[in-house]
Each structure stands twice: as C-alpha cells, then as structure tokens.
Amino acid sequence: MIDLIHDVAYSYRKLVKANSYPGDIYSLTKSIKNNKLILPFYEATIIMVYMLLDAEVSYFVAGDVEGKASDLIARLTYAKSVSVSEADFIFVLASASNSEKDEALMEAKIGTLINPHLSATVICEVESVSQGEANLSSGPGIKGHKIIYMDYFDRWIDIRSKKNDEYPLGIEMYFLDKSSDLMALPRTTTVRGSE
C-alpha cells in the first residue's frame, strides 16, 4: 500500500519542485513502488489523486473507459465528479482520444481576475516527458530558457497559450509519463513551440 502520509509528502515535495522549476523532470517511482491497487490509469496518477483530492474539490476524467477511473477516484477521495468546465482537477488519461484531450483543455476553467486561483489544474498522462518534440520554454522558475520535450504537446501549445493569454487567468498542467516521471507547467511558463 502507498503510505498516505510519507509517500504523499515526498511526492508533494517533488510537485512543489516541479512547479518551482518548470520543465525539470522529477521521478515519482519511489513513492508508488508500494502500490497494490489495480489501476485504470498510470501508477503516478494515483499519487496525485491521494495528494490533491478530497471532498472539498471536484474533478473530471477525460478518456475514462467505462467510468472506472472516475469511480475509483470518487471511492478513494470523496471528491465530486463534475463536468469538465467546472472541475478543479482534470485528469487526461493516456487512453483519451485527441478530441477528448483538446476538449479537456479548451473547457478547463481559468479562474476570475478577482480569484485567479479558482482555475483548473490539468493532470495529463503522456507517453514521455523527456522525449518527443522540442519546445522552448521560459518564465518564472526558469533561468533564461529551457528546452522541454514531449509528444503531442505541439497540439496543445496553441490551446494552452490561449487559455493563459490574459494572465493571471490560466491553467496549470502537470504531465506524468509511463515511467512515473513528472513535469509541471504553471500558467506563467511560456512555451514557444517546436524548435
């Protein structure tokens, strides 16, 4: 079983670092090695569920085959399953179709000027956070510029930049891959597209 105190705390610190240094990659392998649950999503996703969700927040799962992921999250956390436009946390599973991925991002809430923190956090399962198309990123947490690599991300760049166009409004994106590596892109990170 995942240790809900210490494994979650270690993972949270990785997530804090990932948000503080966007584009840096952090491994969650150690925190999930004791997972015994059979999961309808990546193992790294379960640690995010334990870390961030409870009855106070809402979520939406894109690419949820037969609703298994949503059911499991509800049972584990008591969080509320809502429509994508209302969700505090949006999980985009690896099984999501391209249109489901795009819709999840387009519909995500971006907060208001008075309460920009009331925006969605999008947790995306991707093939790899260290391979794929090269993209140039900059912003707080990045010294100068940094190259980030990811497949499919080129498709999201335009949608993401439109969502984050009117800063401080915007969304946070956390990327998890098959190897349980984590990378985060807060709304302040500018991604300039393929190099």
Q: Which residues bind another protein (CB under 8 A)?
A: 4-6, 8-10, 12-13, 15-17, 19-21, 51-54, 56-57, 112-117, 119, 121, 140-143, 167-168, 172, 186-188
Nearest distance from residue 161's CB to another protein, in Å?
16
Question: Least distance (Å) from another protein to the CB of residue 145?
Answer: 11
Q: Between residues 18 and 62, which has the closer beta carbon with respect to another protein?
A: 18
Q: How far apart are CA 128 and CA 180, in angstroms?
A: 9
Q: Of 99, 96, 103, 105, give the one whose Cα is nearest residue 126.
A: 96
Q: Which is nearer to another protein, 15 or 72 (CB)?
A: 15
Q: Taking phi first (over 0 means left), then psi (-120 to 50 degrees means alpha), and beta for anything else, what does residue 57 get?
A: beta
Q: Give the amino acid at 44.
A: A
> Measured from the CB of residue 170, what is the shortest distance to another protein in angstroms?
8
Give least dist CB 97 to another protein, A: 28
What minimum distance in Å lies between the beta carbon of 4 and another protein? Answer: 6
Backbone angles phi, psi at 191, to 5 degrees: -115, 125
* C-beta closer to another protein: residue 6 or 162: 6
- Short-list 119, 139, 137, CA closest to 129: 137
Q: Which is nearer to another protein, 38 or 113 (CB)?
A: 113
The residue (of 63 and 73) whose beta carbon lies closer to another protein is 73
Residues sharing a CB contact under 8 Å with residue 74, sequence separation 6 or more, in sequence order: 80, 81
Q: What is the DSSP string of 136-169?
A: EEESTTSSS-EEEEESSHHHHHHHHHHHTSSTT-
